[in-house]
Amino acid sequence: MPDVPPEPIHVPGGSHWPAFTAAGLGIMAVGALLHTLWVVLVGVVVLVVGIYSWAFEPFEV
């Protein structure tokens, strides 16, 4: 059997959107712990923007 080199592994490029999304979740948690509705709502907005932007990020080969 001939030695065939393995195919390279495809790894997607780096993105800052996962960290942005996690920050939104953290802001929501802090708002919930402090019983502050406006902080929770800010966290929801950050979370939704992060998920949307992460989902529609252009695919780079």
| Tens digits of residue pLDDT in 18-36 | 999 999 999 999 999 999 9
Residue 5 lies in a domain: no
Q: Which stretches within the chain are classed as H helix?
A: 17-33, 37-55
Q: How does residue 9 score in pLDDT terms, banded at 50, 70 and 90?
A: confident
Whether 32 is covered by a domain: the verdict is: yes
Overall average pLDDT of the 45-52 stretch: 98
Q: Give the count of domains, the chain.
A: 1
How big is the chain by its Cα radius of gyration, in Å? 19
**Displacement of CA 20 from its chain's centroid (Å):** 6
Structure token digits, residue 23? 């920050």
Asked, for residue 6, whether it belongs to a domain, the answer is: no
Please report whether residue 45 resides in a domain: yes
Q: What is the pLDDT of residue 56?
A: 92
Q: What is the mean pLDDT of residues 51-58?
A: 92
**The two structure tokens encoding residue 18:** 């996962």
Q: What is the mean pLDDT of the segment spanning 6-28? A: 90
Within a domain: 39: yes
Does the residue 3 lie in any domain?
A: no
Q: Residue 27 is part of which domain span?
A: 17-55
Q: Could you tell me if residue 8 is inside a domain?
A: no
